[in-house]
Each structure stands twice: as C-alpha cells, then as structure tokens.
C-alpha cells in the first residue's frame, strides 16, 4: 500500500503546481480517470488482499481518494480566483494601496441660496414657513385683491389644473404671496415670516426667466410699520447675502395687494437689476384675513431666488441652474 502514499503525494504536488484549467484537467484524468486513472489501477489491487486485510486496505484507499479529490477542488478554486483578479496566484487585495477617491456631491446652488436667505432673515427674527404649490383661487388671487377680471388670472399666464366640472379651479401657484394669506389666516399679529418655494408661470425661458422658479416672500405685520422699515430690511438682506454695501433702489409700481407698491432693484456692476416687488400690505388684504388696519400695518416683498443667486454667483443665464450640467454645478 506504499503505492497509495506515493500516489497521494504525487497528486498533491502536481495539482499544487497546476497553472491553469488545462493542467488540472490533465491531472484529473491521470489520477482520478474512471477508465485508466492511476487510482483506478490501485483499486484493482484491493481484490488481491486477504479477507483480513481488506477492510483496512479499503479504508486507506478511500482516504487517499478523498484527499486527492480535495486537492483537485483546491487547485480549481485557486486557478479560478487568480483568473478573476488577473493576478496569478498572489494575494488579490493590496491593503497598503491608497483608496479610490469617493466623488462627493453637494447641494444645488438654488438650495444653497434658499438656506442662506433663511439664515439671514432668521437673524432679523423672520421665521421660515411653507405653503402648498397647488393653490386655490382665494389664496392666489381673491384674498390678494386680484379682481375677477384682472389679467393676472388669464389662463395663458397660469398653469391651471383640470378639476371636476363645477368645482373651483386649482392652479400651480404663480407667486409665493399666497403664503402671506395662509399665515395671516391662521395667526394673529405681530408676524415676521419668510417663505421660499417654487412658483410656476408659462413664461418663455430666457436668460432671466424660467417657467418654474423660486421666490422668497417676506411679510412683517406689527403696529407702526413703514416703508422705511422695508427698505432697511432689504438693504440688510442684500448686503448680507451679496457681501459689501449693496445699494437698493425703489421704483414706484403697482400690485393689487400692496399700497404703495414698489419694484426693488439692486446694483450689479454699475447696473441696476430688478429683483422683485414689494410694498405696504394693502388695508383691504389685512381686512380680508380679519386684521384691523387701524391697529397694525405691514410690509411684504417677493424676490426672484434665481435672480439673486445669479447676482451672487455671477451667473449670466438662469437657465444654467436647470441644465443639470455637472461641470456648471460643481463650481458652487
């Protein structure tokens, strides 16, 4: 039975050094082949043993066979894994190599702008609130003193939603002034709120317009508020947000829900850019939400977030914010 031990050692050596699947297959046929494998030849010798020796001989034979089969499986695993890593027969992972850098994303510049505006306004005591993007006629128009025949309601200037016949038409809000009403309906003055969110208008996209954009709405209602307070707040905001001493200019304007109304311009490289509208909350609006215009007054403003972001980052075309070109967005 020494022949068995020799065969066992030989098989282990051959399989250990087998470099590829071909060599393993050759070794398999040589040692384990059913017809003329070496193991098969030795098995034939078992029948020549005396009945007393046969059980022990059979056991040694089976042990040797199991060992050769195990070496065979090991060799197969070894060759398969070195093929996968492309590295022949060596440790596949070098833990001393520097890791692959992970590409980190960051917040979209408009989201960064929104958070920064909220932060600055919080320093003046303005609390951030939200309102729905799908609005009813009351909050988008009626309560803001925008009459039934006002052109701002034109279906061509708004995204109306299909609703059941006979029910009040809903629309994607065209301005964040809706949130003024929602807050005043729920709360009593004094109030200092700021609301940033999406608004929708079927405007043709160009360098300063997009059909979906964001507004920042500010509202302050207290006894004795004047236009001078409004200008101070806007100048503080503009200087904090844009850095330096930013000049703010009011131009006379008209909004149905403010009286007087102004357009708010900010200076940009010697040029004045319109950032939004503002004014003193119209007494009719205060009355519509149940406030007493003899006791409190207020100011409100609504600025375009894309416009102030473009001003801050030196972006010439607000459409760039929504092209999703990573090379553009990476800069912020």
- Residues in contact with ligand FA5 by CB under 6 A are 175, 177, 201, 203, 209-210, 213, 215, 255, 258, 274-279, 300-304, 306-307
Least Cβ distance, residue 202 to ligand FA5 (angstroms): 9
Cβ nearer to ligand FA5, comparing 131 with 279: 279
Alpha helices in the chain (DSSP H): 2-17, 21-32, 38-46, 54-85, 109-123, 137-140, 177-186, 227-242, 283-288, 305-313, 326-329
**Whole-number Å distance between alpha carbons of 16 and 22:** 13
Helix axes 109-123, 305-313, angle to 10 degrees: 100
The residue (of 57 and 302) whose beta carbon lies closer to ligand FA5 is 302
To ligand FA5, the closest distance from the beta carbon of 273 in angstroms equals 9
Q: Decide: 121 and 218 in contact? Cβ < 8 Å.
A: yes
Residue 60 or residue 209: which is nearer to ligand FA5 going by CB? 209
User: 90: helix, coil or strand?
Assistant: coil
Least distance between ligand FA5 and beta carbon 147 (Å): 16
With CA atoms as reference, report the closest residue to 194 among 207, 210, 179.
Answer: 179
Q: Give the nearest distance from C-beta 192 to ligand FA5 in angstroms.
A: 14
Q: Is beta strand 159-161 parallel, antiparallel or unpaired with respect to 170-172?
A: antiparallel
For 170, the enclosing helix (H) or strand (E) is strand 170-172
Please give the helix or strand (H or E) that residue 194 lies within, else none: strand 191-200
- Nearest distance in Å: CB 279, ligand FA5: 5
In sequence order, the 6+-apart residues with CB closer than 8 A to the CB of 115 are: 107
Cβ proximity to ligand FA5: between 70 and 207 the closer is 207
SS3 24: helix
Q: In terms of CB distance, is 113 or 258 closer to ligand FA5?
A: 258
Strand partners, 56: none
Q: Contact 227/248 with Cβ under 8 angstroms?
A: no
CB of 178 to ligand FA5, least distance (A): 9
Min CB(145)–ligand FA5 separation in Å: 11
* Cα atoms found within 13 Å of the Cα of residue 196, Cβ hemisphere only: 21
Shorter beta-carbon distance to ligand FA5: residue 63 or 203: 203
Closer residue to ligand FA5, CB minimum distance, 28 or 139: 139
Q: How far is the CB of 139 from ligand FA5 (least distance, A)?
A: 12
Nearest distance, CB of residue 130 and ligand FA5, angstroms: 16
- Whole-Å CA distances, 24 to 50, 71, 137, 313: 36, 10, 80, 66
Tokens of 255: 């909004």
Nearer to ligand FA5, 31 or 213 (CB): 213
Q: Which residue is nearest to ligand FA5 (CB)?
A: 304
**Closer to ligand FA5 at the Cβ: 192 or 307?**
307
């Amino acid at each position: 039975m020494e022949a068995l031990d020799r065969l066992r050692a030989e098989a282990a050596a051959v399989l250990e050094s087998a470099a590829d699947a071909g060599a393993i297959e050759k070794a398999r046929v040589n040692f384990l082949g059913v017809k003329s494998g070496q193991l098969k030849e030795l098995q034939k010798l078992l029948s020549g043993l005396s009945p007393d020796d046969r059980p022990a001989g059979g056991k040694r034979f089976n042990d040797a066979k199991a060992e050769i089969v195990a070496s065979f499986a090991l060799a197969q695993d070894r060759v398969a894994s070195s093929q996968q890593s492309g590295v022949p027969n060596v440790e596949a992972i070098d833990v001393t190599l520097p890791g692959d850098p992970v590409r980190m994303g960051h917040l979209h510049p408009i989201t960064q702008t929104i958070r920064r505006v909220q932060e600055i306004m919080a320093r003046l005591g303005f609390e951030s609130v939200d309102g729905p993007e799908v609005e009813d006629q009351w909050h988008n128009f009626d309560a803001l003193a925008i009459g039934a025949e006002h052109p701002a309601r034109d279906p061509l200037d708004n995204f109306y939603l299909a609703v059941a016949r006979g029910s009040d038409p809903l629309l994607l809000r065209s301005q964040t002034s809706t949130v003024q009403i929602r807050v005043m309906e729920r709360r009593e003055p004094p109030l200092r709120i700021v609301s940033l969110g999406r608004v929708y208008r079927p405007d043709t996209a160009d360098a300063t317009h997009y059909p979906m954009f964001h507004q920042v709405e500010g509202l302050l209602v207290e006894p004795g508020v004047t236009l001078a307070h409004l200008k101070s707040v806007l100048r503080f905001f503009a200087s904090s947000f844009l850095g330096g001493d930013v000049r703010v200019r009011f131009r006379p304007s008209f909004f149905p829900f403010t009286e007087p109304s102004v357009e708010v311009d900010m200076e940009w490289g010697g040029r004045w850019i319109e950032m939004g509208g503002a004014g003193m909350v119209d007494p009719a609006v205060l009355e519509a939400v149940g406030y007493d215009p003899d006791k409190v007054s207020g100011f409100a403003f609504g600025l375009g977030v894309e416009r102030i972001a473009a001003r801050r980052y030196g972006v010439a075309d607000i459409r760039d914010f929504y092209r999703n070109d990573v090379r553009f967005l990476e800069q912020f």
